[in-house]
Amino acid sequence: MGKGSKYVSRKPGPEGRIDWSGEENAIWRILIERQLEAIKGKACDEYIAGLGQLNLPRDRVPQLDEVSAVLQETTGWSLKAVPALISFDAFFEALANRQFPVATFIRRREELDYLQEPDIFHEIFGHCPLLTNPAFAHFTHTYGRLGYAADKEDRVFLARLYWMTVEFGLVNTPQGLRIYGGGILSSPGETDYALNSPLPERKPFDIVDVLRTPYRIDIMQPIYFVIDDIGRLYEIAGLDLMDLVRQAKALGLHPPKFDTGDKRAS
């Protein structure tokens, strides 16, 4: 979603499969091997369980139908190949239909550590393991249905909910604080920063607070919201989320905890 991309998604062939190049497969191998090491003791158990179910290949970019087969069996989801950037309408419609949109390109070597737009590694490694979890899958589906029906202004508020949960959420566990947000789990730098840095604020999850909290997409997050367990996502999905959006709008946004000179803030 956005105005333009320097990447071009690969188009699946007649059988729905993509002929990834040797270089693209090599980049996947670098990314997955280092991130599997980075998330040890940091990712939540539900994510690790989903990762085991997906059994992602180490030596090549996975095909979408391979991942879809596991998701279909566990929670009824599948993957949908999309261009590098898609509209909010297309994004919400896909989620509402239990289709997780995946841009079929992979970052270049010079952008291994950070890529502003989500590539296939971010989408598959970061998000798909938890789509095997019923609570996470239900929350994401509910979010998609609400977002598809919402107007432009309300979607901006809903985007903050997605950002602070699906992308950058933390969860309390008996073993301590763990990560469930895919934006963290696909980033080696933020995986360590989110749990170990003294800089960010880690706040108990309050949905109106979340909806009122601005964020920027191009920095380490200054605030992370913490849910008590993954099952809490069932409860959040059962709330009157659009009424809560109205409450947040009436109260107004919190002052941002970052430099607002960059336009890539929401």
**DSSP string of 201-213?**
EEEE--HHHHHT-
Three-state DSSP class for residue 39: coil
Catalytic residue among 46, 117, 127, 190: 127
122 carries an active-site annotation: yes
Catalytic residue among 68, 93, 122, 190: 122
Checking 69-72 for CB contacts under 8 A at 24+ apart, the result is: 70/132, 71/100, 71/128, 71/131, 71/132
167 carries an active-site annotation: yes
How many angstroms separate the CA atoms of 262 and 259, rounded?
7
Going by their DSSP bridges, the two strands 176-179 and 170-173 should be labelled as: antiparallel
Catalytic residue among 9, 68, 78, 186: 186
C-alpha distances out from residue 77 to 92, 95, 238, Å: 14, 9, 20
186 carries an active-site annotation: yes
Which run of H or E residues covers position 93? helix 88-96
258 alpha carbon, distance to own chain's centre: 21
How many angstroms separate the CA atoms of 245 and 250, rounded?
9
How many angstroms separate the CA atoms of 215 and 204, rounded?
17
Catalytic residues: 122, 127, 167, 186
